[in-house]
Structure 1
Amino acid sequence: MENPIDQQLAITQLQHMQLENEKLSLELEKIRKGTSWLQLPLQLVPLISALVAVAGFLWGVLQYSDEQAKNRSDKETQSKRENAIAEREFMRPWLESQRQTYQEALTAATAIANSKESKDRGEAEQKFWQLYHGAMILVETKKVSGGMVLFGHCIDGTEACSQQQMNERSRDLATAMAESMAATAKMSYQEFVQNQFHYATGPA
């Protein structure tokens, strides 16, 4: 039969070993948990790399979109510039015709107002009405058209105008013509047409 003291010692040693085993188990568990935290960044490396790649791709797409938008804007600006140049070239002969017609109409108006000879006045009136009903319609803007009408009232019997009044209306007409030429030089053909007086003799 075993000595009770030896038996108690064996039990004590067994309990000590169990405690040591539990301690080791806890330490191993702690080590395992510690190792998993250390490995977490390594596990995230592929994800981070993928995110960086996607971000780079999206940045490239944004850069490409911005470049395309800038190219479109540049093309539109260039197209507008070329159209403006083409419009000015198209309007150049029109402006010259306008200038010449205005000059002839103004010369006729001043001759009517200031001619002493009835023959000269009659020829000037004839020239004025020829332009009034002909070439002026093609090139005059609304304000010039109004000036031509007012001066015409002095020679068609609508109003009894003195020489001073006719000269005043002639100067007003000259001012309207100068402003018209300056404005026409900046207009497209469509803008010029919209700024003309449109004569209508019947239903469209």
Structure 2
Amino acid sequence: MSKGLFITGTGTDVGKTFVSGLIVDALRRDGASAAYYKAAMSGNQRRPDGTLIPGDALYVKKVSGLDQPLEEMCPYVYEHAVSPHLAAQLEGGPVCLDRVLQGYQAVCRRYDYITVEGSGGILCPLRFDGEELWLTDVIRACGLGCLLVADAGLGAINAVGLTASYLDRQGIPLKGIIFNRFQPGNRMHEDNVKLCEHLTGVRAAALVRDGDTHLNIPAERLRSLYE
């Protein structure tokens, strides 16, 4: 039976895709049948034939060595580098939860560990055109817990605390926190980790430094985050 984990972030550009690549790579190195999925991607480039390249999926595929086809990794791909709800208003093709779930379930039938990356922060709207769809709707529909990616630097305490509080109010389990761009010996970074763990009651799953090519987390601990 497949297991999934949703990767959310404290905001845009905190390194969710980078960390997702490390996670999928770590699972594959441990011999797991691993896959990647993302409901909607914005800010993508076009191929010469005009079709859009799902950039985040392509990155994860390359760094992790996945043989998973790109076309099954993301059902909604947009060109404009804005929230998916606005990209769909500009380009057409609004996100439909049924299609997202069908794609996710198809991946679950083929792989054992599914890493599902969110768009932006946890409050990112996927659709807002008279019909509303939010990331939390996808998370609950898939029955997933969250792994939170945060920048280890200034602002981490506030961003992690608010995100964790929102997840709690939404009834979504926070399984762990990964601090990205962590600098060993940096007093602020180390203090941020300690205070975020205190605020949330959730352990740091890993501390990721710039340029890391492997995730420093025991395989059993990583697998335990999935449900």
TM class, shorter-length: under 0.3
Name whichever structure is richer in helix by fraction.
1
Output the TM-score relative to the length of structure 2: 0.22
Higher relative contact order (Cα pairs below 8 Å, separated by 6+ residues): 2
Work out which of the two has the higher radius of gyration on C-alpha atoms and give 1 or 2: 1
